[in-house]
Amino acid sequence: MTIQSLRYIVAVAEAGSITEAAKKLHISQPSLSAAVKEAEREVGFKVFHINIKKIRTFSYAEGPKEYGLE
């Protein structure tokens, strides 16, 4: 996993939306979604729980922000 992948994950967690995070990162929403899915595949677990209204991190995914990987 790259530092960029971690930044993407943090941006999505902070924005609460892949679409909003993509706007802030100036990348397309499909590209960001693919990057997040690839990062989740690499670590072997889902980082986000996504439903129709919002996105949230699973409790074990709270670490990145705590460790300054923003």
Global confidence as pTM: 0.72
40: number of Cβ within 10 Å: 17
Q: pLDDT tens digits for 43-57?
A: 888 888 776 666 666
Q: pLDDT tens digits for 1-58?
A: 889 999 999 999 889 889 999 999 999 999 999 999 999 899 888 888 776 666 666 6
C-alpha distances out from residue 34 to 27, 31, 59, Å: 12, 5, 22
The answer for 26, left when phi > 0, alpha when psi is -120 to 50, beta otherwise, is left
